[in-house]
Structure 1
Amino acid sequence: MTREQERARARRRHDKVQAAQRRRAEQRARTRRLVAVVATVAIVLATVVGVALAMRPRGDSAAAPSGAASPTGTAGPSGRCTTPPALQSKPKQFGEVPDKATAEGATWVATLRTTCGPVTIELDGKAAPQTVASFLHLAREGYWAPSPCHRLTTGSLSVLQCGDPTGTGASSPGYGFGIENAPADGAYPRGVVAMARTQDPNSNGGQFFVVHQASRLPTDGGGYSIFGKVTGGMDIVDQIAAAGSDDSNGRGDGRPKTPISILEVSVTKKKA
């Protein structure tokens, strides 16, 4: 074999080695690209699933079937109501009207823990200082623990009335006070909270009502004191109203068919 033939043979061996190395390099590059694509797809899928889970409606528990009874056997809004406790036979009595200075000029937040869930009310101590002072006093003294919402009306007057521990609509905390912040036109918007009273304008005490549909009340005698508005739990009031009353007088006025009672009332001063 000549020297020229040996050199040609060596070049061929070199070219084969180089070609094999290029093939292996290309294979490694294809493998890296495939791994990168798979990793990218996995990241995208994880992101999509995470977003879907984050946007899912949340709840503390599974929704109860429509019309289901609560664990204690009382049907209520979405099955959430529990059986109200027994009525108070001898509610606490107080000899003097609370000092309005305790509430004057401030806004307060009251949370009513009820057998159907919490209802939050913002109390206006600027517009109705005497009424709010009385509410704060009765809440702190546990006057309404417990007490039922004993009256539901529908129609031109649409209110849920609460605050009488005996459930008769006839009791008081042992004192009375006058009207304040009553609308001159007798218009009571949905969600406002006002005092219930007799024909005596100084008979405001412990009973109050939540307006579940805009209503117009008589202005004779001075009207009814607005002292707050519902800021949370209006859906509970709505569902109690939707269930209707026993209509004891034939005028859409009676005890709620779905019983609801106040178990506890807590109050805090709203931060400026």
Structure 2
Amino acid sequence: MTRKQERARARRRWEKQQARTAQRSQDRARRLRVLAVVGVVLAVVAGTAVLGVTVGGSPTPGASSTPSTASTTLAGCELPPKPLGTAAELDLPSAKTAAGKTYKATLSTNCGDIVLRLDGTKAPQAVASFLQLAQQQYWKDSPCHRLTTAAPLKVLQCGDPTGTGQGTPGYGFGVENAPKDGTYERGTLAMARTNDPKKGNGGQFFIVYGKSSLPDPDGYTVFGTVTSGLDIVDKVAAQGVAPNDTSPDDGPPAAPISILSVAVTEEKS
């Protein structure tokens, strides 16, 4: 098999994987909608009981009557917050906002801080978008919804406040600064996107915790690196993927991790 044939075969395999991921996200969103309808019906049926509890005494702020899921979290991690479940309708910021500048971004998660260095020289549009979304608190309480654990792809994907993999900030932009050989080194910060390389980037991004190969001719925007906290991603990855209907090595992480807030400061030369 020639090198060209190998690349074509790898690309087809990657496209099939992406299609499966998109289908799983759609299925999850559909299940959530069904559960919401069922919840409304049950609330109506149980209205008397609910009113009785409310009148009888107000619950302690922050307390929960639902069973704890602490057994699924890592040591040193807090229980992740419930996703806010909303996307946004923002306008694409100008790439000039970040051009020629570098930034330090701190992702505060329920498992600790992950610190990033953003490169506005190599990927000004991606960094400008990141800055805007951080300022708008777009990622508040958003889960990292996808983990892949099998070669050639070892990444943790985050950045969707809906937790479904379908959320967007209301705009898209094109690929910039993609590796020509399709290789993404450990510690790389890159944009996740749809199949459209011209406007498929939005608010989702992925952290590479193991050297990965993404055989796509258009590639994925590399806009920064992880400077500390990659060990947190390693620990999450070590727990593997939560049981799902399609793949044992691609899906929600078994050990949940969520972004609580994002703070960004410009680095002065």
* TM-score, with structure 1 as normaliser: 0.71
Counterpart selection for 2:262 from 251, 262, 265: 265
Structure 2, unaligned stretches of length 5 or more? 1-67
Shift of 1:88: 1.8
**Rounded Cα–Cα distance in structure 2 between residues aligned with 1:190 and 1:109:** 18
**Rounded Cα–Cα distance in structure 1 between residues aligned with 2:156 and 2:148:** 7
Contact 2:85 2:163 in 1 (8 A): no
* Residue correspondence of structure 1 range 194-213 to structure 2 within 5 A: 194-201=190-197, 202-213=199-210
For the aligned residue pairs, the C-alpha RMSD in angstroms reads 1.4
2:121 counterpart residue number: 126
> Does the C-alpha gap of structure 1 residues 192 and 247 become closer, same or farther in structure 2, counting only changes over 3 Å?
farther
CA displacement, residues 153-212 of structure 1 (integer Å, 9 cap, x when unaligned): 012100000000010001100000000000010000000010001111111010000001
CA displacement, residues 202-252 of structure 1 (integer Å, 9 cap, x when unaligned): 1101000000100000223x1100000000101100000001012532251
Contact 1:74 1:83 in 2 (8 A): no
1:192 counterpart residue number: 188
1:63 counterpart residue number: none
Shift of 1:76: 3.6
Tell me how many residue pairs correspond in the alignment: 199
Bigger CA radius of gyration: 1
CA displacement, residues 33-64 of structure 1 (integer Å, 9 cap, x when unaligned): xxxxxxxxxxxxxxxxxxxxxxxxxxxxxxxx
Structure 1, unaligned stretches of length 5 or more? 1-70
SS at match of 1:258: coil
The structure, 1 or 2, with the larger RCO (C-alpha pairs under 8 Å, 6+ apart) is 2
* Residue correspondence of structure 1 range 1-272 to structure 2 within 5 A: 73-77=70-74, 79-94=75-90, 96-155=91-150, 156-201=152-197, 202-220=199-217, 222-246=218-242, 248=244, 249-250=246-247, 252-272=249-269
Moved over 3 A (4+): 74-77
Contact 1:184 1:219 in 2 (8 A): no
